[in-house]
Amino acid sequence: MSDANDIDKPWAGRFTAPTDAFVEAFTASVGFDKRMYKQDIAGSIAHARMLAHVGVLTEQECQAIIGGLQDIQLEIERGEFAWSTTLEDVHMNIEARLTDRIGATGKKLHTGRSRNDQVATDIRLYLRDQIGVMARELRRLQEGLLELAEREADTIMPGFTHLQTAQPVTFGHHMLAWVEMLMRDQSRLADCYQRVNVMPLGAAALAGTTYPVDREFTARELGFDAIAENSLDAVSDRDFAIEFVSTAATLMMHLSRFSEELILWSSAQFDFVDLGDSFCTGSSIMPQKKNPDVPELVRGKTGRVYGHLMSLLTLMKGQPLAYNKDNQEDKEPLFDTLDNVKGCLRLFADMMPQITVKAENMREAARRGFSTATDLADYLVRKGMPFRDAHEVVGKAVRHGVETGKDLAEMALAELQGFSEIITQDVFGVLTLEGSVAARDHIGGTAPEQVRSAIGRARDRLSQFKLAEPIQT
Ligand code: ARG
């Protein structure tokens, strides 16, 4: 008679036939969940300490378990651990190895626990640490942007609406727009962290456990800020992962917009910036090419992160309480999101100091595009003309400029007076690009002085984000 026990599955007791080979491969998650080995071991050590603390394990048993788990961690880190698909996932692989190493005491570790609360705990620990890593990379990118903004606080470029030249802005001001978007991403990450760092352990399979567990003890050991209030919810919901991937998707949306600008700006048509040779690649056929591959790939990767968000939302919808195996599918989208977003942030942070700004080209583009037309209208308004009339007068002056190939600042006073007699010599003060940006002199405006003080405030705000250090894991 076939006996499932002879294939060594921890749950083989109620089975009489072994698992179909393809079912085994199909249901296994060890291929991708083994990356949580540290969190799994940290969770098990905390659980064992708690069991000893409440008297379910003896101190000696607890020490044997901890020693065994620490040795297993070394084995894994030395690349000597034999991961087995038969043992399905990271949890059963480590637990089985523990029993191999320390004997029967190893079998006591799983007292008062289930893989359902164990896996939910592992993911939360893993994600918690990864959020810290990501937040640090994001901060490094913001710091790079702030440095660029400081260096180029006076540099003038055309500001765009509809990708048509609109009004002059400073390059520093433009960089600060990115800093602000990323600041909100920082704050979304910090917010999401609070809901990630909640401990499921103690929920066991779904209903809690009959052992006198001390969940507060375990939570303290693992650095969780709170414990999950409801056992059914604790083992089943993955909304924390959805929230994180949604935050990541928004961040990628920002990086994608940023990428798009860098791609445009580094083209021969704009020629506003140089991205640095180490961040570009050439073409195998066209010798003149220097392609902005990094921003292009980042823009492209945004799509897969959006896809992961949709996967997780769809994975969760329609699941009855409590744990269902569907949830095993949460890991790959989450891990792929983490890997890619961290990679994108790292590249962007590294790229910032490599960006060379072509100030002359940007200035020339701003000059060519009648970007001070609004300034001329504002000038006429200050001299008493209603804004709508001023708009009309300047529109005619611009048409004349288009016909004669002259910017407003290049017209003679008499020429300008042909459009309105109230224009006098002082008009040239407002028609210059420097005059235009300096006049937007209020909080949030593009004047170089305002940019400098905004940089200071942004640095303060950035330093206020408390980025949790990885705890045990
Ligand atoms: N590998 C599983 C997962 O990722 C662990 C939990 C399995 N629990 C169970 N009762 N089958 O979700």
Q: Given ligand 1 and candidates 110, 325, 335, which is best to mutate, with the most ligand atoms within 8 Å of its CB? A: 325
Residue with the nearest Cα to atom 12 of ligand 1? 328
How many angstroms does the Cα of residue 91 sit away from the middle of ligand 1?
A: 9
Gap between the Cα atoms of 343 and 370, Å rounded? 40
pTM: 0.94
Question: What is the structure's pLDDT at 196?
Answer: 98
2's CB contacts (< 8 A; 6+ apart) are 16, 17, 18
Is the CB–ligand 1 distance for residue 197 below 6 Å? no
Cα distances (angstroms) measured from residue 444 to each of 105, 177, 388? 64, 10, 26
Is the CB–ligand 1 distance for residue 29 below 6 Å? yes
Q: Given ligand 1 and candidates 27, 35, 115, which is best to mutate, with the most ligand atoms within 8 Å of its CB? A: 115
Cα distances (angstroms) measured from residue 238 to each of 119, 124, 148, 227, 266? 11, 10, 39, 15, 41
DSSP string covering 100-130? HHHGGGGGGTTTT--HHHHHHHHHHHHHHHH
Question: What is the structure's pLDDT at 7?
Answer: 56
Is the CB–ligand 1 distance for residue 121 below 6 Å? no
How many angstroms does the Cα of residue 328 sit away from the middle of ligand 1?
A: 6
Question: What is the structure's pLDDT at 14?
Answer: 87
Q: Which of 162, 284, 442, 463 is catalytic?
A: 162
Please identify, by atom number, the ligand 1 atom nearest to the C-alpha of residue 331.
Answer: 4
Question: What is the structure's pLDDT at 2?
Answer: 40
Question: What is the structure's pLDDT at 17?
Answer: 87
Q: Nearest CA to 370 among 403, 419, 415, 418? A: 403
Question: What is the structure's pLDDT at 120?
Answer: 98
Please identify, by atom number, the ligand 1 atom nearest to the C-alpha of residue 205.
Answer: 10
Is the CB–ligand 1 distance for residue 93 below 6 Å? no
Residue 125 contacts residue 42 (beta carbons within 8 Å):
yes
CB burial class (10 A; 0-12, 13-18, 19+) of residue 468? middle
Residue 218 contacts residue 200 (beta carbons within 8 Å):
no
Question: What is the structure's pLDDT at 280?
Answer: 84
- In the chain, which stretches have pLDDT less than 50? 1-5, 472-473
Q: Given ligand 1 and candidates 32, 92, 119, which is best to mutate, with the most ligand atoms within 8 Å of its CB? A: 119
Reply yes or no on whether 283 is catalytic.
Answer: yes
Gap between the Cα atoms of 264 and 413, Å rounded? 36
Question: What is the structure's pLDDT at 3?
Answer: 46
Q: Nearest CA to 32 among 123, 103, 108? A: 123
Is the CB–ligand 1 distance for residue 116 below 6 Å? yes
401's CB contacts (< 8 A; 6+ apart) are 370, 407, 408, 410, 411
Q: Is 19 helix (H, G, I), strand (E, B) or coil?
A: coil
Question: What is the structure's pLDDT at 359?
Answer: 98
Structure token digits, residue 464: 């206020």
**Type of residue found at 456:** G
Is the CB–ligand 1 distance for residue 327 below 6 Å? yes
76's CB contacts (< 8 A; 6+ apart) are 34, 37
What is the DSSP secondary structure assignment for residue 281, as one 8-state letter?
Answer: B
Question: What is the structure's pLDDT at 283?
Answer: 77
Is the CB–ligand 1 distance for residue 129 below 6 Å? no
Q: Which of 187, 278, 283, 453 is catalytic?
A: 283
Is the CB–ligand 1 distance for residue 44 below 6 Å? no
How many angstroms does the Cα of residue 337 sit away from the middle of ligand 1?
A: 21
Residue with the nearest Cα to atom 2 of ligand 1? 328
